[in-house]
Structure 1
């Protein structure tokens, strides 16, 4: 390769890496694997050095991320450098050789710890109080995301123990695999784009503008480094881990001191097998010099510290063939395409199916029946198709065409605005029936005791019910023959169904299973409109006039009641005598008129619901989170982060005795 060819290749590699950095750090939508990125970066480094094509703006000179224009930018007092990566033992031995050469002796140890696949963040505590949480950004500067950081329950707002005046902490925000899988399932059901893996979802969540929305994401945290203003030369990385735990920060148990690089190799082999058993995703092992005072002597390059390196595990992927693409109907009618695969071994299990998520995903990756594809477990849990191996080959099958009708009931599918999923909105669609009935009978809805999942399954399987309205037509003689249903238990179930007719109007609204209508929204709808007849006749504009109702909820409510089958079911519920009007409640007083309460902890005599009911009877409202708009926090025993937040914001805090005094009890 001559210099001209090298310059062209360098330009091409820099553009690719800049795009990859943006996709990874800012968009949380990577399009190449970590290994591909690292190999591309190494090629660029080699060409820049060989042909003297250095540039201060090259990806080889930068950590990777950029700061956002949305958040306030903060300068890191000590740069948050990324780590050099290796995928093989030989390169790890080379790293050890460089350490030995620079130090001129072998009087050092290594601290090995699991490398978490999440998002790096920086915390700052002053006088024990959390004052800053920031992203790594470009290594020199990051985004101030303190309000979002404070929603992560693993991160204490106040340190424990004997802490210094100023403490700087480095750590990794992450999501556990099962929590990530549940979140993705929920997003898929809601018609939203799913995240590729826990790392991307964590990074994307931390950059959200609404801390309340961040609080809903299952983000966890591990601390892995500690920076003090006056560090003792005898301080080791292992001792730092102990101090972090003493200060009340979560520290991963998998960290070990190794006296040689051979011990590190043995530990890597052990942890590579262990990683599949862990609840969170780890993509390697970080190896650091244990003695902190040797770091300064070893120094850093413009991008990496010379005293640490990351050994990356190989991503577990496999190649197989798509035999068919089938469609699944979810509990909210979401249609999910699924790749039926030629069975293949992956991460210790046989994979036969992989979610294709939605129509847009199939089109973006141009996935077709008969294709040879690469599959990977996202978060080691969910098999997904990464890409087609040879999309340019001849004689490929036709592009997959999404059907216009539901594969289960043949009803016409719809796609809501701003969503990627197709849906079946037929309430009698077989795959949806069971979960709709279970929701209807649940404790927070109609609270029908004895009507659990197994009983619902039997009732539907035997053809005794098709909708939740059919429950009120059941007779004892019909259900005595069901499994584990004797005379007494059958009568108890019939009695519980009849008793549910007395549930208040807001519970009936919630039980209907209208998309986006939870318990609080159902209560607001009942209070604002009073009757089922009125609720069924509303326009979106009339609904949005209620404070807690946004466009998505309004559209969903109108859509539900415009469906003829839903109308018929609701009509039957009314004929069976369910409460279709809100009972007039005599307000005890208006002392809390316009006031917003947040409840936290266990009160001595009231349950949360009883306290909330009392607040409403005296004109107030309750909220689930503390903010500048909160007027009071009613706190009991074992109050958590909500109490800390209230104290920080100066929100008045009441105990039960003071609350009783205010309402005159």
Structure 2
């Protein structure tokens, strides 16, 4: 074949293989035999091997895995991947329903989906072609695992329509694949995976995509990033139907429920049936179906108010409690932990379990030497449920919390009528070490190379006492530490230096301010722009910020009124650490213009730019972009297939622009 014929054949092979894969994996209606598919696949692979320049980025041959990666890049999600609040019983569900009805109407409907026990991922498509896939990460920034995701056959590399969108889903390992994988690891003398979820997550974080390709993973898509209006869908159930037509595998066991009673019936049904599935589920996700109702309900700093995850009751097993160990966290809370005779729970071996606090130990009369029932709270953290009183021999010993800190011997106290006992000594070694471990963690300053072992060594060598001391470390000091060579020291010092450039929200989270998590830190950084401005804010100012409540406000002001804290911050500033938010701040926006002080809503499909790009440009010009239309909205920009938001804008007589008017106002034409 000449070059032109070869190019046409490659295009035809790509088209056919994508078509056959869609029919097989999404529609469950094979169009050709496996042998016929393999013959076409091998023909395409042979051409691409001889002519690498003819290999499309979304070629079906990507399924076998490409070159070994050097690492995973970072991906910022255009729309945050938030976690869900949990429900553990019927009352939790009815309380959720009551809150939803109070904010919307008594006629709200829900959609229920099986909660796949896997790894949350995001898939991005441009003009119908798969261009990027990422893990959830901290909800704002994830890891780029595109090449590994290409190896999963239920991830379409080319959609049925040339649309640009982002979808969210759950990558998982079928039970059959999990069994075969562990059998192979047994034969190779390798450690078995504890459960399918760990196996799936481990497979997708391999730097060699061929390993991921060999693991036979799958994905269920459970939503569209954003509100879906630009695709002409007004509800979550419609969005799932739409994504299925595009070529994604969605879970067919989902059900639309007219009320909370139907939701509870669905949950009861799948509590009994879940073992019949070829994949693990650990609960049921319940979502308000209407996007308009979802917008009205909105979000907290951590979770959407329109969804909740019901968690199945955990497996309970019996074992012996041999001792109680105490640990001091970075906030000073002293936590008792049960030391157990190791036992298998939900696929993992458990030798330690939470006892929570002294009051719980007394209430349940848990004693050292007891035979106890344990389970995984939320299927994750092992906890002691109760002792088996009938099994006692008389040798069991009651446990009492000490009056003094096990680390520094300071008196333990209860604050604000809390259940927990705290060490309030700011110089407590355990708290100081835990604070440093938190400061260097991925979601905080992300200083790679400093773990618990290194922090312990640094503290023991009297090289660090607070987080600011990290920035004074030298090569000569570090090279003396155990198991620290030239390369490790060089990498560590580079990571410390690079962390100085982090945006303010990373520092705020890293400081460990009580009640300030990743999302609250980002909100505060965006609002104030600089650490100095935040430190000068009073509680009234803080509470006025959307999603910042009384507890966070009080905690922030109390924190910055502490002399020890101010001393550490002064030391951090002297190191050259960035104390500013690197996103948009009030100083960056103009004082005049068509968007200054205006609230804008974007709806429908835009062609000259994405809605994310439009949002950034509007905010850079002083506007505020929100997701729902209300009487406070100034302008609604309506693209093609604008839905309920446009109708709502017309009802409220709000100014409506088309895309051309938006571009003109942005100064593009």
TM-score normalised according to structure 2 size:
0.46
Larger radius of gyration: 1
TM-score normalised according to structure 1 size:
0.46
- Tell me which of the two structures has the higher relative contact order, counting C-alpha pairs closer than 8 angstroms and 6 or more residues apart: 2
